[in-house]
Structures are given as structure tokens and as C-alpha cells.
Structure 1
Amino acid sequence: MEPADDEVVRTAAEAAEGLIFSRYRRSEVDDLDVAVTFEEGVLEVDVYLNVDDEEAEQVAEDAVLAAESAVDELFAEAEE
């Protein structure tokens, strides 16, 4: 049984935020927006991260990848 759309969105958002806060303290993050949609089997993840760090863009990209990976794992577990 496939996971519900809201579970997919929640899983992706939690994974993205989890990765970001594993690399930065909350006090270091000036602004964060994680936008996730899952419609008709298509996952879209957009991460905006405002941190005073030259690696912030890479961390945001890594957060998107973490979200996608978490959703892949969610679907793999559902197939078992």
C-alpha cells in the first residue's frame, strides 16, 4: 500500500529540515523555507536557506536530496 500524499510531504519536509539542523544550530539560521508538494506521483522540493555561510547553497541542495531519498525509502518500505 502506497503512503498517503500528506505522509510523503511530511517525510520530505522533516528530512530536509533534519539535514539542515544537523549542520547548523537553529540560532545560525536567519530564514528557512522548505516547500514540498506531491501531486500525481510527482515530488517537488524547494529549499530556501538564509545562513551566513558560503556553503549554504550546497547545504540547501543536500537538503533537497535528503528529502528525495527519504521519500524513496518511504515507498520502498511500503512495497515490502
Structure 2
Amino acid sequence: MPTDETVVETAAEAAEGVIFARYKQSEVTDFDVTVTFEEGILEVDVYVNAPDDADADAEDVADEAARTARDAVDELFADDADADADADADTAESDSAGHQTESGDTDAA
């Protein structure tokens, strides 16, 4: 399971990635990405202040950044669950492999 710190960093990086994919850094007057993850609950708030004449609407970009942050965290947990499932499958395979007895006979577990 990812640590709370990893969850927060993943969400924040994803949100910032969206902001700077939509705007040149010089266009952004101010932005704030606030991420909390407590007791399994993720909260993402994004604020973007960009010029009115920018190509992308700041509110739309902030909404997209927050959604992308949540999606990144969902993917983080899905990847972790897949890794756990793979580890469990590897353990099950090794547990079901034949074991050799002292006489040299194979004893399937």
C-alpha cells in the first residue's frame, strides 16, 4: 500500500503537470495545489490564476488538474494491488511446486 506521502506527492505532481501542459509557466500568475490524504480520503483543491486572454480557461484547467490528480492516485493504488496480486501468485506457485523427499521421490504439495 502506498504511503500517505507518496499519495500526496503523486496527486500534486499530476495536477501541476496538467497546469503546465495547458499554460506556459510565464503565463501563470499564481497557482496552488493543496492535497490531503487522511484515513483513506483524498482531497485535491487546485487554484490557477492565469491571464484572461490565455487560451485555456483557468477554472477548467483547475478542474482537469484535480481530476487528473485523483486518477493518478487511483492508478497508484491499482498498480500496488496488481503488484500484490503478482506477489501472491508467485508465492502460490512456489507453494504448489513439488518438494523432494529424502528418498528422492517427488512429493507434490
TM-score tier, shorter chain, comes to over 0.9
**Structure-2-length-normalised TM-score:** 0.71
Cα drift, residue 57 of structure 1: 0.3
**Structure-1-length-normalised TM-score:** 0.96
Larger radius of gyration: 2
Residue number in structure 2 paired with 1:56: 58
Cα drift, residue 49 of structure 1: 0.5
Distance in 2 separating the partners of 1:60 and 1:31: 12
Distance in 2 separating the partners of 1:23 and 1:47: 14
Equivalent pairs, count: 79
Unaligned runs of 5+ in 1: none
Give deviations 1:8-32, integer Å, cap 9, x for gaps: 0000000000011001010000001
The one-letter code matched in structure 1 to 2:36 is T
Unaligned runs of 5+ in 2: 83-109
Runs of 4+ in 1 over 6 A off after TM superposition: none
Give deviations 1:22-57, integer Å, cap 9, x for gaps: 010100000010000000000000001000136110
Distance in 2 separating the partners of 1:56 and 1:75: 29
The DSSP-based 3-state class of the residue aligned with 1:35 is strand
RMSD: 0.9
* Structure in which a larger fraction of residues adopt strand: 1
Distance in 2 separating the partners of 1:24 and 1:55: 10
Distance in 1 separating the partners of 2:48 and 2:36: 18
Distance in 2 separating the partners of 1:5 and 1:50: 28
Distance in 2 separating the partners of 1:51 and 1:62: 15
Distance in 1 separating the partners of 2:72 and 2:62: 15
For CA contacts below 8 A with separation 6 or more, give which structure has more relative contact order. 1
Matched, 1:66 2:81: no
